Amino acid sequence: MKKLLLLALLLPISLWAQKEEHKAIKAVIESAYLEGITNEGNAEKIDAGFHPGFNILGYNTDNGRIWEYPIYYWKQSALTRANDPEQADREPVRFEYPYIDVTGHVGMAKIDYFRGDKLLYTDYLSLYKVEGEWKIVSKVFYPHPDEDSEE
């Protein structure tokens, strides 16, 4: 009975802590990825949320090879795009978060990446809590087929 009572007392604390970690992960993704990389091209936000060893791992369906794209290339691409006048009128990207999970100092987030109402990608981000702060360390993704194109 004492164990059951102790469990009943500790469970809400555990759930609260888990919810706080989910919020912290979402906040770093919103700042570093959504704002820093995608919508603003903000170097400070990128540097604050991405680990320097971050890589995107992509899969080439034509040849079956996996490729890497390090953060320093992705960051430069985002900053170049942010200064391109032709990109100024692009509709902003928004994220939906079907799934965030945390085990200790490791986190995983599934993100649906939309421009307007169009789902473009599903991303899977891996995070580590480094010195008390969540850092995005890797990304794999699925590009959703363009329904407007004829294949």
pLDDT over 90 at 21, yes or no: yes
Residues 6+ apart with CB under 8 A from 80: 41
Domains belonging to the chain, first-starting first, are: 2-143 (3.10.450.50)
β-bridge pairing 133-143 and 50-60:
parallel
72-90 pLDDT per residue, tens = 999 999 999 998 888 778 8
What is the spatial order of strands in the sheet that 133-143 belongs to?
65-70, 50-60, 133-143, 118-130, 106-115, 93-103
Q: 135: Cβ–Cβ under 8 A, 6 or more apart, which residues?
A: 28, 49, 50, 51, 54, 127, 128, 129
**18 contact partners, CB below 8 Å, separation of at least 6:** 102
Residue 150 CB neighbours (<10 A): 4
pLDDT at residue 122, as a whole number:
99
Residue 77: predicted pLDDT: 96
Q: Which pTM was predicted?
A: 0.85
